[in-house]
Structure 1
Amino acid sequence: MRNMRFPMTRPSVKDWGMKLYRFRYSPYARKVQALLDWLGLQYEAVEVPYADRNELATLTGGYIYVPVLVTESGAVIKESRDICEHLAQGRGASLVPAPWEGPIWAYHDFVDGPLEDALFRIGSPAVQQAWPTPGERALYTLVKERKFGAGCVEAWLRERDVLVARARKLLAPSLRTLTQRPFLFGDAPTVADAALLGNCLMLQEADPSLLPSLAPELVAFVERASAYRLA
């Protein structure tokens, strides 16, 4: 992976190599980044300033969410699932091995849905405080409150014990699996593991104490998954 940078200028065709536009707190972006790393692909991770998405909007024609992947040919792929499907072709087919395509994608969607809904609420109060500027913190709060209601971030902090219990219940079958094998579907990771890893990394970025307190078993999983490279 190349060095990260903060985008400030309009991208041009000549600048295109493989680029991943991300927030480091985004579980969806971290999921895609895990797949890129496992496949050994060379790319530039572009950390998008939370309050300045001009380059991203210019690149995509107005879409301002992450992740966005620019391929080596200059194609722009939005939405994390679409990016995962793109990467799971050719050499990446091992990330969704037959005959497990159905269960793997189903688990991926479970993580991106109900599990992420619980985990991001646990991490959000710490993420809110981690943005470096008052404007970014205020914007983050505004975005969450427009979707979930006034005072939602503070409420999630007060309700952390309830949210942790909910997340542990959702994670329990996965944790039992990971005590018996290194990854969810065997000895090598799949897009299912990438989805789980992305959420774990989000919690670690928000507050390093969150993941061990939620599920200590996932700390070892993160270490294994982060070190993996496709042979």
Structure 2
Amino acid sequence: MDVSFDFTDSVALVTGASGALGAAVCEAFADAGATVAAADVVAPDDGEAGLDTGRAIDFYRGDFTDEREVERVVSEVLADHGRLDCLANVAGTWKGGAPIENTDVETFETLFDVNLKTAFLASKHALAHLRERDGRGAIVSVSARSSLEGGEGDGPYRASKAGVRLLTETIAAENAGEVRANAVMPSVIDTPANREMMPDADHDAWVDPADIAEVVLFLCSDAASVTSGAAVPVYGEA
């Protein structure tokens, strides 16, 4: 069944926009009629997916681990477009491979900064503007299937993504009736970087970024008006 969404006259801010999933979310919003504010510390041409700016996608360079940068980008988006209807917290990274006693603090800090702090800061500075949308403002953040349990070798990653889930539930509770907040939980996403990292894996079982982007749009749409505080699996067979 084909499903379409209409985000005409809406403005969506997407973090991590130069990565494969972020670019897919930007393009899905643009295809649905939204004006997209695509934000990343990495320029589109240097990103993983080659984000296609133009076609209602405007790029804003900013480091979303820095609160001053987040304030600046959100202010620029409001100055340029006058409103904010949706926030997609896609910025994230993965590092692993060592047990806790062998994990350096820099790896721990990087994972919590990029995966959790970016979502916290973007949400913090977007919420006041999302509340102005009369109950239709929405936040969707990217958690992970692995956040549901502990595992060997990537504990800080799992913990940071569990934090995204709990942050989402907190925002939903604090803004009930005003702003909806939900999370999606991918497993392995079918990206060029993941294929290079795992060349012998079953790539056919991985989920295409465009399919996850459709779920993000659903959660931001009026079709999900009664859904808030949810963590939605988007891992298919992966």
TM over 0.5: no
More helix by share: 1
Q: Rg bigger for which structure?
A: 1
Instruction: Tell me which of the two structures has the higher relative contact order, counting C-alpha pairs closer than 8 angstroms and 6 or more residues apart.
Output: 1
Q: TM-score, normalised by structure 2?
A: 0.30
More strand by share: 2
